[in-house]
Chain A
Amino acid sequence: MTATATSARSDLSELGRSETALRTFLHGLPGVDQVGAEQRAAQLGTRSIKTTAKAEAIDLAIRMVDLTTLEGADTPDKVRALAAKALRPDPADPSCPHVGAVCVYPAMVPHVAEVLAGSGVHLASVATAFPSGQAPLEIKLADVRAAVAAGADEIDMVINRGAFLAGRYSEVHDEIVATKEACGDAHLKVILETGELATYDNVRRASWLAMLAGGDFIKTSTGKVPVAATLPVTLVMLEAVRDFRAATGRQVGVKPAGGIKNTKDAIKYLVMVNETVGADWLDPDWFRFGASSLLNDLLMQRTKLTTGVYAGPDYFTLD
Chain B
Amino acid sequence: MSERVAVRKTYKLFIGGKFPRSESGRSYLVQDSNVSLASRKDARDAVVAARAAVKGWAGATAYNRGQILYRVAEMLEGRREQFVALGVPADEVDAAIDRWVWYAGWADKLAQVYGGANPVAGPYFNLSAPEPTGVVAVVAPEAPALLGLVSVIAPAIVTGNTVVVAASPAAPLAAVTLAEVLATSDLPGGVVNILTGKITETAPTLAAHMDVNAVDLTGVTDAELAVELEVKAAENLKRVLRPAPADHDWRSDPGLARMTTLLETKTVWHPKGV
Do chains A and B make direct contact within the complex (CB under 8 angstroms)? yes
A contacts, CB < 8 Å to B? 33-36, 38, 198-199
Known: A33-B273, A34-B274. 13 other contacts (CB 8 A): A33-B271, A34-B271, A34-B273, A35-B122, A35-B123, A35-B124, A35-B271, A35-B272, A35-B273, A36-B271, A38-B273, A198-B274, A199-B274
A51 nearest CB across to chain B (Å): 34
List chain B residues, Cβ under 8 A from A199: 274
List chain B residues, Cβ under 8 A from A34: 271, 273-274
Chain B residues numbered 87-138 whose CB sits less than 8 Å from any CB in chain A: 122-124
CB pairs A–B below 8 angstroms (15 shown): A33-B271, A33-B273, A34-B271, A34-B273, A34-B274, A35-B122, A35-B123, A35-B124, A35-B271, A35-B272, A35-B273, A36-B271, A38-B273, A198-B274, A199-B274
List chain A residues, Cβ under 8 A from B274: 34, 198-199
B264 nearest CB across to chain A (Å): 27
From A198, which residue of chain B is reached at the shortest CB distance?
B274
List chain A residues, Cβ under 8 A from B122: 35
* SS of B interface (majority): loop
List chain A residues, Cβ under 8 A from B273: 33-35, 38
* SS of A interface (majority): helix
A34 to B122, CA, bound (A): 13
List chain A residues, Cβ under 8 A from B272: 35
List chain B residues, Cβ under 8 A from A33: 271, 273
List chain A residues, Cβ under 8 A from B271: 33-36
From A32, which residue of chain B is reached at the shortest CB distance?
B273
A36 to B274, CA, bound (A): 11
A198 to B274, CA, bound (A): 8
A73 nearest CB across to chain B (Å): 37
A90 nearest CB across to chain B (Å): 42
A216 nearest CB across to chain B (Å): 30
Chain B residues numbered 245-274 whose CB sits less than 8 Å from any CB in chain A: 271-274
A35 to B271, CA, bound (A): 6
List chain A residues, Cβ under 8 A from B123: 35
A125 nearest CB across to chain B (Å): 34
A244 to B271, CA, bound (A): 27
A35 to B122, CA, bound (A): 9
A35 to B120, CA, bound (A): 14
User: For A33, A34, A35, A36, which residue has the most chain B Cβ atoms within 10 angstroms?
Assistant: A35
A36 to B269, CA, bound (A): 13
From A38, which residue of chain B is reached at the shortest CB distance?
B273
A204 nearest CB across to chain B (Å): 13
A4 nearest CB across to chain B (Å): 28
B140 nearest CB across to chain A (Å): 50
B16 nearest CB across to chain A (Å): 46
A254 nearest CB across to chain B (Å): 22
A165 nearest CB across to chain B (Å): 14
B266 nearest CB across to chain A (Å): 21
List chain B residues, Cβ under 8 A from A35: 122-124, 271-273
A36 to B273, CA, bound (A): 9
8 closest cross-chain pairs (CB), A and B: A34-B273, A35-B271, A35-B273, A199-B274, A35-B123, A34-B274, A33-B271, A33-B273
From B122, which residue of chain A is reached at the shortest CB distance?
A35
A36 to B271, CA, bound (A): 8
From A35, which residue of chain B is reached at the shortest CB distance?
B271
A198 to B273, CA, bound (A): 11
From B271, which residue of chain A is reached at the shortest CB distance?
A35
B136 nearest CB across to chain A (Å): 39
A40 nearest CB across to chain B (Å): 12
A199 to B124, CA, bound (A): 18
From B272, which residue of chain A is reached at the shortest CB distance?
A35
List chain B residues, Cβ under 8 A from A36: 271
A198 nearest CB across to chain B (Å): 7
A199 to B273, CA, bound (A): 9
A41 nearest CB across to chain B (Å): 13
B138 nearest CB across to chain A (Å): 44
A36 to B124, CA, bound (A): 11
A164 nearest CB across to chain B (Å): 16
User: For B124, B272, B273, which residue has the most chain A Cβ atoms within 10 angstroms?
Assistant: B273
B70 nearest CB across to chain A (Å): 44
